[in-house]
Amino acid sequence: MSVISVKNVSKWYGQVVAVSDISFELEPGVIGLLGPNGAGKTTLLKMLGGLLWPSKGEIRLLGQPIQGNSQIYKKIGFCPEPDAMYDFMTGSEFLECNAGLQKLSDPKSAARRALEIVDLTAQKDKKISAYSRGMRQRLKLAQSLLHDPELLLLDEPLKGADPTQRRALIELIKQLGQAGKTIFVSSHVLYEVERMAHEIIFINRGRLVALGDFHAIRESMYNRPHKVLLEVSDPTKLASLLTERALVSGVNLSTTGVTVEVTQADAFYGNLPKLATETGIQVRKLVSLDDDLESVFHYLVK
């Protein structure tokens, strides 16, 4: 039985459709939820957490419907994107307060355990107002772990963290997934999700665009048509050679460079250094003009 089952789920607000007829089933591990801003990621996460009800369709966790099911809510942890903390409290006080509101049998022990998991024990008595952005992110994660949930929903958990903090959070999320939890991580940053998720869901404009093993989908992205700008010493010669060797499907020349359309990215990037060395053409600059999620989605939606 799947941990999460989503069947024909839609959510609309008046005439605005936030999520449109999405269906999928997921097993334990880290799942990346990718999409540009406004794609419907937060709406989908809130429906998975029971914070919003679908306008149509059904969501089940461990075979049971989520909506209005208080017993199932106890198995869900939600880490929202915005902060909602009492800055005058210490980290430990904040977690104990939340554990008490959840009516956990031993709030102090629950808070201590959550602080240990996110590596905040040394800062537990510090006021939240003095926490760095990365520490606040970890405290939010600790809050969602207080009741040891089976499903963890993380909305942009790395936003605002510096590179060192991001690495630490990514490793922590991976460890939680390896421990058997089902973790849904929302992000619009492709490489971050690649580092922690074994499976991904792409949504764009509320629709499911792609679902499955990350590496298989990533491979299809590398083979998608995309544009590359090359500033070189001899644009005309390079354009002629690239066309002659069928490494590009389109060419546009300028005085300082050449813009090419590539359909086989691996072959293009693999042959370009060799071609430049053989011909003596100097490559001064190489820029992918549409190497972002929005471009990927435009291609996949076609």
| The predicted structure's pLDDT at residue 227 | 82
Q: How far apart are CA 145 and CA 95, in angstroms?
A: 10
Same fold, 4-221 and 223-301: no
Which of 122-126, 160-164, 248-252, 274-278 reaches the highest mean pLDDT?
A: 122-126
Confidence class for position 120, pLDDT limits 50, 70, 90: very high
Q: Residue 291: its pLDDT value, please?
A: 63
The string of pLDDT tens digits covering residues 43-97 is 999 999 999 999 999 999 989 999 888 889 999 999 998 888 999 999 999 999 9
- What's the full length of the chain, in residues? 302
Which of 147, 151, 74, 150 has the alpha carbon at shortest distance from 110? Answer: 147
- For the CA atoms of 237, 243, 244, 247, the dihedral, rounded to the nearest 10 degrees, stands at 120
The sheet that has 16-26: what strands, in order across it? 16-26, 4-13, 56-61, 64-65
Mean of pLDDT values over 14-23: 95
Per-residue pLDDT at 297 exceeds 60: no
- Give the C-alpha separation, 287 to 226, whole Å: 11
Quote the distance between the C-alpha of residue 28 and its chain's center: 16
Right CATH for 4-221 from 3.40.640.10, 3.40.50.300, 3.20.20.330, 3.40.50.1000: 3.40.50.300
Q: Which class in CATH covers the domain with range 223-301? A: alpha beta
Phi-psi region of 226 (alpha: psi -120 to 50; beta: other; left: phi over 0): beta
Residue 190 scores a pLDDT above 60: yes
Of the pLDDT bands very low, low, confident and very high (cuts 50, 70, 90), residue 293 is low
Q: What is the mean pLDDT of residues 272-301?
A: 77
Please report, rounded to a whole number, the percentage of residues in the chain having pLDDT higher than 70. 91
pLDDT digits (tens, 9 = 90+) for 222-239: 656 778 889 989 989 988
With a pLDDT cut of 90, the percent of the chain lying above it is: 50
Per-residue confidence (pLDDT) for residue 92, from 0 to 100: 98
What is the pTM for the complete model shown?
A: 0.74
pLDDT value of position 23: 97
For the chain, the average pLDDT equals 88
The neighbour count for residue 103, using CB atoms within 10 Å, is 9
- Nearest CA to 112 among 136, 142, 89? 142
Reported as half-sphere exposure (CB side, CA atoms, 13 A), residue 288 has a value of: 15
pLDDT band at 266 (very low <50, low <70, confident <90, very high): confident
- Domain borders along the chain are 4-221, 223-301
Residue 169: the pLDDT is 87
